[in-house]
């Protein structure tokens, strides 16, 4: 006997993401889902951003890693509320993992929640967690062919941060090519060039971010 | 890369719907998977075979309808279907303003139960 189902496979995730969304709206928290390949500089960007916003915007962080607490310790040393999620193998954070830790965060006293996703250029882009926007980080040492090889994350993100531009002299990566390919995948993408080492470009990014959070 | 969690979701939804319909064995499950969904079909089938053991879907086969990427160009007005996973410009007129219509599907359509 045939049973009609017609259900989106990720429907359960979408439902929980919507519930997270409701909790975020209620507490008036702006939420960023930060995604990149391993080592592109997500935690470094958070450190720089949090320092730059200090006194203006109250942040909190959820750290997603397959294992370990190193990233959460880096954030915690800045005096910012942080929760580490260990996915135990899963290549991305999903809405349910976020939902389970929300009770342990001071959401009401938070303006901006950063969720550092598991380092991976593919899967995190598939799973909404209830965020206001997805932000993608690409370090220029990863190569300028990445937009066309991993299009989905570029398409799903509102902003692209090109990190490690201090290393530009040592690579053959073309920022122009990255910009052109990324924009062809996503014409409304906002692109920043930064170095988390020298601090170059960070202020431009945090100014833009502040505007988003306050509006 | 997350085919395992997708396989688990498929199993959960299928078992749930089978029980709701008042049956307790699943014979086959039909899925609609878009080419731009990011899912590797072989990996999904492999993962499903691993998670289905000791469930009411233990004997179930998975049938997959692969959906190509298609869209409608806003410049030349033509519908297009492509073999590619991603479309950067209209295959007819090379315009970059178009709307994607299919290719991101990830759905369970129906199943045979007994
Ligand atoms: N030269 C240079 N190095 C950087 C820059 N940003 C980060 N790094 C270095 O890159 C390495 C990885 O940085 P992380 O911030 O840990 O990267 P991540 O994306 O959080 O890594 P995972 O969480 O493991 O995926 C560290 O050694 C950083 O010091 C930069 O702008 N320039
Ligand atoms: Mg990190
Ligand atoms: Zn056209």
Which residues sit with their C-beta closer than 6 Å to ligand 1?
A: A 36, 38-44, 71, 119, 163-164, 166-167, 195-197
Q: For residue range A49-102, list pLDDT tens digits in order.
A: 999 999 999 999 999 999 999 999 999 999 999 999 998 878 899 999 999 999
Cβ distance of A5 and B110 shorter than 8 Å: yes
- In angstroms, the CA B103 to CA B35 distance is 5
For the record, the structure tokens of A5 come out as 């189902």
Give the E-state strand segments of B39-114 in sequence order.
61-67, 69-73, 79-82, 98-102, 106-113
Give the E-state strand segments of A1-111 in sequence order.
2-8, 30-35, 59-65, 82-86
State the DSSP H helix or E strand holding residue A184, giving kind and residue range, or none if neither.
helix A175-185
The per-residue pLDDT of chain B, averaged, comes to: 92
- Ligand 1 atom closest to residue A45's alpha carbon, by position in its atom list: 15
Give pTM, 2 decimals: 0.87
Distances (CA, A) of A55 to A51, A194, A198, B27: 9, 22, 22, 60
Q: Are B77 and B92 in contact (CB under 8 A)?
A: no
A123 HSE (CA, 13 A, CB side): 19
- The reported pLDDT for the residue numbered B1 is 60
Interface of A with B (CB under 8 A): 1-13, 90-92, 94, 120, 122-123, 125-127, 148, 151-152, 184-185, 187
- In angstroms, the CA B74 to CA B96 distance is 9
All structural domains of chain A: 11-214 (3.40.50.300)
Q: Are A124 and A105 in contact (CB under 8 A)?
A: no
* B14 reaches A (C-beta below 8 A): yes
Q: Are B114 and B103 in contact (CB under 8 A)?
A: no
Write phi, then psi, for A159 (nearest 5 degrees). Answer: -135, 150
Question: Among candidates A34, A10, A16, A12, which has minimal Cα distance to A118?
Answer: A34
Which protein residue's CA is at the shortest distance from atom 12 of ligand 1?
Answer: A39
Distances (CA, A) of B21 to A30, A134, B7, B18: 42, 39, 21, 5
Distances (CA, A) of A170 to A164, A167, A179: 11, 5, 19
Per-residue pLDDT averaged across A23-49, rounded? Answer: 98
- In angstroms, the CA A112 to CA B94 distance is 41
- In angstroms, the CA A125 to CA A117 distance is 10
Per-residue pLDDT averaged across A29-38, rounded? Answer: 98
For residue B36, pLDDT beyond 90:
no
Q: In chain A, pLDDT over 90 holds for what percent of residues?
A: 87
- The reported pLDDT for the residue numbered A16 is 95
- Ligand 1 atom closest to residue A194's alpha carbon, by position in its atom list: 31
Q: How far is CA A213 from the centre of its chain?
A: 15
Write phi, then psi, for B75 (nearest 5 degrees). Answer: -85, -55
All structural domains of chain B: 3-68+103-113 (3.30.2320.50)
């Amino acid at each position: 006997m045939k049973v009609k189902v017609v259900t989106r496979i990720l429907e359960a995730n979408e439902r929980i993401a919507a519930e997270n969304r409701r909790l975020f709206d209620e507490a008036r928290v702006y939420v960023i889902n930060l995604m990149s390949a391993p080592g592109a500089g997500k935690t470094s960007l958070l450190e720089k951003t949090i320092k730059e916003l200090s006194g203006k915007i109250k942040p909190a962080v959820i750290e997603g890693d397959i294992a370990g607490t190193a990233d959460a310790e880096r954030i915690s040393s800045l005096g910012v509320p942080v929760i580490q999620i260990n996915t135990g193998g899963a290549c991305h954070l999903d809405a349910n993992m976020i939902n389970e830790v929300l009770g342990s965060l001071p959401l009401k006293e938070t303006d901006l929640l950063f969720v550092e996703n598991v380092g991976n250029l593919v899967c995190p882009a598939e799973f909404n967690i209830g965020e206001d926007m997805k932000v993608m980080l690409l370090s220029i040492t990863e190569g300028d062919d990445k937009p066309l090889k991993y299009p989905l994350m570029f398409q799903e993100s509102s902003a692209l941060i090109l990190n490690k531009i201090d290393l530009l002299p040592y690579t053959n990566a073309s920022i122009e090519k990255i910009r052109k390919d990324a924009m062809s995948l996503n014409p409304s993408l906002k692109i920043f060039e930064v170095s988390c080492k020298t601090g170059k470009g960070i202020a431009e990014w945090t100014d833009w971010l502040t505007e988003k959070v306050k509006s | 890369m997350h085919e395992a969690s997708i396989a688990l979701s498929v199993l959960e939804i299928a078992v749930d719907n089978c029980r709701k319909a008042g049956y307790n064995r699943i014979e086959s499950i039909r899925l609609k998977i878009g080419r731009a969904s990011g899912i590797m079909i072989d990996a999904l089938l492999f993962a499903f075979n691993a998670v289905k053991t000791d469930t009411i879907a233990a004997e179930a086969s998975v049938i997959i309808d692969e959906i190509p990427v298609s869209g409608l160009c806003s410049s030349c007005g033509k519908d297009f279907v492509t073999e590619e996973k991603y479309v950067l410009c209209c295959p007819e007129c090379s315009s970059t303003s178009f709307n994607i219509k299919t290719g991101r599907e990830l759905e369970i359509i129906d199943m045979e139960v007994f």
